[in-house]
Amino acid sequence: MSAVAVHLAHLTRRFGELTALDQLDLDVHPGELVALLGPSGCGKTTALRLLAGFDRPDGGRVLVGGVDVTNMPASRRDMGMVFQAYSLFPNMDAHKNVQFGLRMRKMGAAERKTRAEEVLALVGLADHAGHYPHQLSGGQQQRVALARALAIEPSVLLLDEPLSALDARVRNQLRAEIRRVQQELGTTTLFVTHDQAEALSIADRVGVMSNGRLEQLDTPEEVYNRPATPFVAEFVGTMNRVAGRVLSGGRLEVLGSSLNSIGRDGHDAGSLVEVLVRPEAIEVTVASPGHAVVNDRTFLGSLTRMRVTLDDGAVLLVDAASSRNLPDPGARVDVRVIGEDALIGDDAGAGRPIEELELELDPEPVGPDPSEPPSDRLRDGLL
């Protein structure tokens, strides 16, 4: 079956006072994997639930393959969904779980069995077909959930933070697996996550959301290197806010370097602004007297992150290859920007001191640990 396009048009959803989705427009091309990335409460899950049919919008339309499905119940939308955790039916083994959707489609028993075995093999669990969810690890459960979603040959595959409850190693493994299977089958896929590393590594295009709106929808490289808004710049990766000055001809002067300004026109030449600069776009060299001092150094593997205080009091984060000869804490250094492009920060953040941002190398898993069997004990204890 050929892949279909998904089109969300002016989608609005309000919960009481809160506007979860504010006229969201989103196009997913046939066969494409789009990751919706954003902080919690940005509306990404709401968008996914509206697409799945679990919820109805207050305004706007949902089109799949050109057909308006806005008011179609979830059970008829033909979408495969993988949830964060605990979505397998505890009373059925892996094989029965995978067959569930096929049974609903009145497929014959023999055909159903063959199909279930196929998809279980596709996710590498052919020999776990007889296991119940509580006998499977968190990663295996999510594989079965993926197989179950794919068994019905869905027009669209929906992934709602499917990796967030897994530990780091399994997460990376399964992420690659999801991507492989998705590309093999060519299913149009929407992947919701709050983890930027996950979004950047798995998606054809990344949609960054904030306050119910899509801030930017672009390839991972573009989102990282040419963020459309200050929000995107600061949410994806780590950013320094550095004092700078607007030059003529769309250039900026930052720490003595002249950079190309991307986006956000409307600043007069000569005005003082805050410029967003990535830690890896800053270089420090030992110098005497120098105009900054290295506070501390954190070894992160291939990179080392330094905290540097300028003589005017501003604090910067600087990433450098660990293989280089790096200045020790306390050393006097010169600081310069080695990147070419930079974005002017929004006024809301002006003058705000730099925050120690998360290192994001190995974030802790969020949510309950699915490697624990679900609450049999709790259930028995309560009754």
Partner 1 sequence: MWRVTILVLAAIYFLGPIASSIRFSLVQSNGKDGFGNYTQVLHDATLAHALATSLELAGLTTAILLVLMLPTVVWVRLRLPRVALLVETVSVLPIVIPPIVMGAGLASLQLHAGSQIDSLLFSSPLTALTPFYVILALPFAYRSLDVGVRAIDLRTLVDAARSLGAGWVTMITRVILPNVRTAVLTAASLAIALVLAEVVISELLLYDTFPVELANQGQENAGVAVALSVLSLVITWLLLFAITFVGNRGSRGRVGRLL
52 touches partner 1 (CB under 8 A): yes
Among 43, 53, 138, 230, binds partner 1 (CB under 8 A): 53
Which of residues 85 and 318 has its CB atom nearest to partner 1 in the complex?
85
Q: What are 264-268's contacts with CB under 8 Å, separation 24+? A: 264/230, 264/343, 264/344, 267/344
Contacts of 336 (CB under 8 A, 6+ apart): 255, 256, 257, 282, 283, 285
Q: How far is the CB of 143 from partner 1 (least distance, A)?
A: 15
133 touches partner 1 (CB under 8 A): yes
Mask: binding to partner 1, 71-90, rule CB under 8 A, as x and -?
--xxxxxxxxx-xxxxxxxx
16 touches partner 1 (CB under 8 A): no
Q: How far is the CB of 102 from partner 1 (least distance, A)?
A: 9
Mask: binding to partner 1, 138-167, rule CB under 8 A, as x and -?
-------x--xx--x-----x---------
Closest CA to 85 of 367, 342, 314: 367
Among 56, 105, 169, 352, binds partner 1 (CB under 8 A): 105
Which of residues 169 and 377 has its CB atom nearest to partner 1 in the complex?
377
Which of residues 90 and 256 has its CB atom nearest to partner 1 in the complex?
90
376 touches partner 1 (CB under 8 A): yes
Q: What is the size of the binding site for partner 1 (CB under 8 A)?
A: 43
Work out the widest C-alpha separation in the chain, in whole angstroms: 81
* 319 bridge partner residues: 305
110 touches partner 1 (CB under 8 A): no
109 touches partner 1 (CB under 8 A): no
Which of residues 157 and 206 has its CB atom nearest to partner 1 in the complex?
157
| Span near partner 1 by CB under 8 A; candidates 12-20, 128-136, 312-320, 351-359 | 128-136
379 touches partner 1 (CB under 8 A): yes
Which of residues 152 and 320 has its CB atom nearest to partner 1 in the complex?
152
Q: How far is the CB of 158 from partner 1 (least distance, A)?
A: 8
As a whole number of angstroms, the distance between CA 327 and CA 335 comes to 12
Which run of H or E residues covers position 11?
A: strand 6-15
Angle at Cα 184 formed by Cα 183 and Cα 185, nearest 5°? 90
| Span near partner 1 by CB under 8 A; candidates 34-42, 67-75, 168-176, 187-195 | 67-75
Query: How many CA atoms, within 13 angstroms, populate the side-chain half-sphere of residue 19?
Result: 11
Angle at Cα 17 formed by Cα 14 and Cα 23, nearest 5°? 35
Contacts of 319 (CB under 8 A, 6+ apart): 278, 279, 280, 282, 303, 304, 305, 306
378 touches partner 1 (CB under 8 A): yes
Q: SS3 of 340, please?
A: coil
Among 31, 54, 332, 346, binds partner 1 (CB under 8 A): 54
> Are the C-beta atoms of 306 and 320 separated by less than 8 Å?
yes
Which of residues 89 and 299 has its CB atom nearest to partner 1 in the complex?
89
* 191 bridge partner residues: 35, 159
39 preceded by a cis bond (ω within 30 of 0): no
104 touches partner 1 (CB under 8 A): yes
Among 1, 16, 17, 91, binds partner 1 (CB under 8 A): 91
Closest CA to 194 of 44, 308, 368, 327: 44
Could you please report the per-residue DSSP string of 280-336?
A: GGEEEEE-SS-SEEEEEEEE-SSEEEEEEEETTS-EEEEEEETTS-PPPTT-EEEEE
Residues that bind partner 1 (CB under 8 A): 52-54, 73-81, 83-92, 100-101, 104-105, 132-135, 145, 148-149, 152, 158, 374-376, 378-380, 382-383
